[in-house]
Amino acid sequence: MTEPLQVQLKKGVLELCVLALLSRQESYAYELASVLARDVGMGEGTIYPLMRRLQLDGLVKTYLVESASGPSRKYYKLTPAGRSAFATQKAEWLDFVTSINRALGASR
Whole-number Cα distances in Å, 48 to 16, 44, 58: 15, 8, 16
Tally of domains within the chain: 1
pLDDT tens-digit profile of 10-47? 888 999 999 999 999 999 999 999 999 999 888 777 89
More confident residue, 80 or 69: 80
Which structural domain, as residue segments, surrounds residue 28?
5-104
Q: Are 47 and 18 in contact (CB under 8 A)?
A: yes
Q: With cut-offs at 50, 70 and 90, classify the pLDDT of residue 2.
A: low
CATH number of the domain bearing residue 87: 1.10.10.10
Please give the single-letter amino acid code of residue 8.
Answer: Q
Give the global pTM.
Answer: 0.88
Q: What is the per-residue pLDDT for 1?
A: 47
Q: Are 87 and 52 in contact (CB under 8 A)?
A: no
